[in-house]
Structure 1
């Protein structure tokens, strides 16, 4: 009878990559260890209350801006709707120019929010069944929304569906953290990042969180 491994995701990462072991030690010493390490046993529970639409709204707002600017725009969006997240129907019924003017969102992000709302209202995307899809299928569905690309889909997989083995190769903060930790001469490209991250499987999500924590650049989603 074969004994199953009892290694935790963190233990796997420590043993698989000495550089990442040092990163984990650094984060732990700083008291910034992730509160709930992503783990297959902690996969998204379809029976718990969710706000998948709200998560994607936050992800769209957060694209290519600082965490502080993202929070400010998010609060302005909620303020326009009485201090709460608007429903998809409310976004579509609102005046697009006024939404752009009062929230500080770019016209491109305003268009993305409206595209997401339209996909939800028409049923082109069923957010409440996203947990049933494989990672690549989630990315493919979300990619049909204007302005949602692989980065936003990766953040949704990592921080909401709690998928354990996601590697967002396009994230600048992650690439910078890897450049520093591995003492690279320049930012790693997608293929080099994939190569470096190969030993982290099947816990690449957790590895990324530790690397983000070294620079306090964890995406705000």
Structure 2
């Protein structure tokens, strides 16, 4: 069901969706710069084609998503409105049927508590490939708090914004712009030279058409998609699987080396030591083709 009015859209959600649970997850950092949570609603600038729209996403009385277009930042045509619907559905991962995941998880010793506590949580995505890759690179080998700080510096230095009620709503930097920069141009961000090189390199690949979301998805195969990303300088298995999970929606993406995953498993099992890779693989055997959601739900115990 989709209700399409001039100033808003109503998007039906699956039964296995809880807006408040997703808002709770999205509120985990007070340093998020790509959207604002205000009064239980999400406000975000969305670039669509040559337009920038400002939307407010909330829950209506029927439990569906109400997407309101704010003031002058409204779609110019029905086709643009359709792209907004596609973006929101992708962002909240509304097209994934979670019933099989919940059936599996409620029988799993590690996941049963997670699906009980966080029922209706979706893998809130990063629809733009460049943004997802940059977030993965920025987060390498640092804690989550500092990763948010680096992202804010990057976005506010090189991105654009629109204004509403005295608040800036940021649009992630364009790869075509970043591709033309030098490491010295990024020096004010206070991150390693290697990360600066990786960000510029990824931007260049996307800007010259060597890499796109469509190209990765067209592989149709997880291992091929993973290998395509790992060949990129600065993209190792952790970053590749993070992007395959959060942007490209491969259900079997599994960042097995993730410290947060290790800590969540240690917390739930009461173990004194973090699990080994072999122990994780054994625990994850029942999660086949749901590794992405299993990881996301386990992360939720930590942040």
Whole-angstrom CA distance in 2 between matches of 1:147 and 1:114: 10
Q: Which one has the bigger helix percentage? A: 1
What are the equivalent positions in structure 2 for 1:21-100 lying under 5 Å apart?
21-25=112-116, 28=117, 32-33=118-119, 35-36=121-122, 50-83=127-160, 84-99=171-186
With normalisation by structure 2, the TM-score equals 0.58
Per-residue deviation at 1:50?
A: 4.4
Residue in 1 that maps onto 2:216: 130
Whole-angstrom CA distance in 1 between matches of 2:159 and 2:99: 48
Q: Is the counterpart of residue 9 in structure 1 residue 96 in structure 2?
A: no
Residue in 1 that maps onto 2:111: 20
Verify the 8 A CA contact 1:163 1:205 in the aligned structure 2: yes
Q: Mark the runs of 5 or more structure 2 residues left unpaired by the alignment.
A: 1-97, 161-170
Residue in 1 that maps onto 2:32: none
Whole-angstrom CA distance in 2 between matches of 1:58 and 1:151: 12
With normalisation by structure 1, the TM-score equals 0.78
Cα distance per residue 1:125-161 (max 9 Å; x no partner):
2333222221111211111222111111111111111
Answer 1 or 2: higher relative contact order, Cα 8 Å, separation at least 6: 1
What are the equivalent positions in structure 2 for 1:165-176 lying under 5 Å apart?
165-176=252-263
Per-residue deviation at 1:37?
A: 5.6
| Structure 1 stretches of at least 4 aligned residues deviating more than 6 Å after TM superposition | none
Q: Is the counterpart of residue 208 in structure 1 residue 288 in structure 2?
A: no
Say how many residue pairs are matched.
195
Verify the 8 A CA contact 2:265 2:298 in the aligned structure 1: yes
2:188 to 90, 98, 102: 102
Q: Mark the runs of 5 or more structure 1 residues left unpaired by the alignment.
A: 1-5, 39-43, 217-221
Q: Calculate the aligned-residue CA RMSD, in Å.
A: 2.4
Residue in 2 that maps onto 1:3: none
Q: Which one has the bigger strand percentage? A: 2
Whole-angstrom CA distance in 1 between matches of 2:114 and 2:128: 32
